[in-house]
């Protein structure tokens, strides 16, 4: 899975791109990005497959 974080119109946008090509995008508030980014970094660093990112179907 690929996770893309970007700023769009003053808000944060996170897009999840699954291995099968399907996507899910969520508009977040201007400050929420830090929480999702923290999940992403920790789960990647510790190879956690059943964390937040691993449970997005």
HSE (side-chain half, CA atoms, 13 Å) at 30 = 2
Q: With b meaning 16 or more CB within 10 Å and e meaning fewer, what string describes 26-35?
A: eebeeeebee
Could you give the number of structural domains in the chain? Answer: 1
Q: What is the pLDDT of residue 33?
A: 63
Q: What is the pLDDT of residue 57?
A: 54
Tell if the pTM clears 0.85, that is, is over it: no
Domain containing 25 equals: 2-55
Residues ≥6 apart with Cβ < 8 Å to 28: 11, 12, 13, 14, 36
At 25-49, the pLDDT tens digits run 988 878 766 677 777 788 878 888 7
Other CB atoms closer than 10 Å to residue 12's CB: what's the count?
19
């Amino acid at each position: 899975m690929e996770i893309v974080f970007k700023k769009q119109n003053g808000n944060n946008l996170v897009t999840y791109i699954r291995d099968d090509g399907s996507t899910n995008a969520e508009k977040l508030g201007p400050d929420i990005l830090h929480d999702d980014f923290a999940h992403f970094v920790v789960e990647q660093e510790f190879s956690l497959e059943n964390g937040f990112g691993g449970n997005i179907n």
